[in-house]
Amino acid sequence: MTAAPGAGRSLPPPCLLPLSLGICVLIAALDVLVGARPQVIALLVLGPLLASAWLDVRHSVLVGGWAALSGLVAGLLDGTFLTVGFTVRWCGLLLGCALVVHVARRRAAAEMALRSLDLARRVTRGDHDLAALVESSHDAILATTLDGRITYWNTAAQQLYGYTPQEAIGAHVSMLAPPERGHETAMLLRRLSRGERIEHFEARRVSRTGRRIHVDLTLWPNRTPNGRLIGAYAIARDLEQKRAAAELAQLYEEQRHVALTLQRSLMGVPPKVPGMPTAHRYLPATQGLGVGGDWFDLVPLGARRVGAVIGDVMGRGLEAAAVMGRLYSAAHALAKSGLPPWQVMQTLDAVVADLPDQFITCCYLEIHPDAGEATVCSAGHLPALLVAPDGKVRTLPVPVSVPLGVGAIPHQQVTVALPPGSTLALYTDGLVESPGHDIDTRLDALATALGAALATTPDLEQAADQVLAALLPGPAKHDDDVTLLLTRLPQAPLATAGRELDATPAAVPAGRAFLTDTLTAWHLAGIADDACLLASEILTNAVCHAAGPIRLLLRRTEYDLTIEVTDRSPHLPQPRQINTADESGRGLALVDALAAAWGTRPAEDGKTVWFTLATSNHSAEA
């Protein structure tokens, strides 16, 4: 900081001093030569007063002394030591000197007041914001004269030492030092008077209430623009408070790390689904602990079906992370069980009902890419976006129910079309909500950014980065956690075939014949025997334990063959331990041994049992 023009100036312009002295000489000469005593007396009084308006204490006394001397010489010349004129003259001179001293003292007080504002005046000359910064600084900032008189005292200095500006300004800085450290203050003032700058000097200080304070001092000289030393500045930092703040910041960072580690361990990493490229992003909030209640998951359901879950627990901190972990685990287990989306949501609603004061949104999609559709249920969550292969972006038409935990309102599911090759985008409100912006406007911005990103690159990882860069103001400016999940649906299966059978014993040989013919036409005769064996076991169970009709469905992809058998019985078959004497229960054990994967799931009108066989190792027959 540099001094303002005229700061610390105490001398008048050079031409005024000779002019004032010349006036006094002229007055004395007139008194001697002319004898105009009453007028001269008045001029003798006014002369020093006029001079003192321009001069400081030293020059005012000089002028008054000169006037007194001129009057004395005049009295000696005319021999009127005891005359009335002489007495009046000297009374006037004494009155003039008294007025000179009074004006000089007032001038010195005014100069002290100006110096008390010196720091603020200097910083405000160039930048008003800098003056506010100095005043609002958390460090104590003060200014002193060369002899140690305080001339500036900011708010932080009052908070640290306890003295108000009215009490501190004009007092000696030694009042802040303990009695046993008085020499320390004198030593620092001597070093400053030599123009030294003192960095990080640790000292003990005492507050107005007597509290001992361990401070770190930085001191530097205060100079005028022409380099004349007129005082010093000092910054004092409470070392104990600084150490406590550093320890608190370290503890805060440790808690943040623990919270984020807990959240990520609870949420885990979505598994890779064969044939379904995905990209996901999770950014913790930059405010507070950062950890929040966002979660997402991909759940392979078998037979190329995938469950996608995204949710948001309102609030932040460890409590939100703990609630998120419970819901993540519950949703994953419910999706794995094969329950339809509306039942998954109803069960989660019952789980949240046991958690007090929670506001949670969630959306669950059961994606069936081979059929080009998904069954969706939303509990108050923001709508999913779908980018078609032609680049058009649209919102999935899904009815949005109330958030989880409200209860008494059933959640509805709907089946929507998902063309093969489309990209599905799921997200939380942290990506689109922004203060001062309408949510619909932000959703439109997300759709625009998503369409532009996917038009630029087919890579979902790069597209996710582009969407975040377009929607978020910066990496450190979002006050809510942000979640984005992109999933690209695989292309349609190479071939599908199906047949409906009656629930009679004849359905088993009819199903085998259909399989043999179809696989031969698909050039997959090499796995026809295994496929017929496993399909026969499942068809037999359907004939024996379920009602018709029975639907047999085949789907071929580049890598595998999926066979599904659907019947009207809601009872899901369960594998069990088989003894050598048992005549039943061997069918599922055989399926488990020979199939690449298998499973069961509830259907709208019964259940479906499915299994897959690998086709990549079987060459096409000529």
pLDDT at 353: 85
Q: What is the pLDDT of residues 454-475, one digit of tens each?
A: 999 999 999 999 999 998 876 5
Does 192 score more than 50 pLDDT?
Answer: yes
pLDDT at 338: 85
Residues in CB range of 361: below 8 A, 6 or more apart? 311, 312, 379, 380, 381, 382, 403, 404, 429
Neighbours of 171 (CB within 10 A): 15
In the predicted model, what is the mean pLDDT of residues 121-132? 54
- Cα 578 from Cα 459, distance rounded (Å): 48
Q: What angle is formed at CA 513 by the lines to CA 508 and CA 516, rounded to 5 degrees?
A: 125
Does 28 score more than 90 pLDDT?
Answer: no
- Domain boundaries of the chain, sorted by first residue: 16-112, 118-242, 274-488, 495-614
Which pTM was predicted? 0.59
pLDDT at 284: 77
> Most distant CA pair in the chain: distance in Å?
159
* Yes or no: domain 495-614 corresponds to CATH 3.30.565.10: yes
Q: What is the pLDDT of residues 136-181, one digit of tens each?
A: 788 899 999 999 999 999 989 998 999 999 999 999 999 999 988 8
Please indicate whether residue 610 or residue 250 has the higher confidence score (pLDDT).
610
pLDDT at 611: 93
- Could you tell me which of 210, 157, 204 has the C-alpha nearest to residue 181? 204
Please indicate whether residue 517 or residue 90 has the higher confidence score (pLDDT).
517
Place 58 in a pLDDT band, splitting at 50, 70 and 90.
very low
pLDDT at 16: 45
Q: Provide the percentage of residues in the chain whose pLDDT is more than 70.
A: 71
> CATH top-level class for 118-242?
alpha beta
In the predicted model, what is the mean pLDDT of residues 297-307? 89
In the predicted model, what is the mean pLDDT of residues 472-480? 65
Give the residue carrying structure tokens 């004269």: 145
pLDDT at 602: 83
Superfamily of domain 274-488, CATH level 4: PPM-type phosphatase domain (3.60.40.10)
pLDDT at 452: 93
Please indicate whether residue 482 or residue 40 has the higher confidence score (pLDDT).
482
Q: At what angle do helices 16-33 and 37-52 cross, to 10 degrees?
A: 170
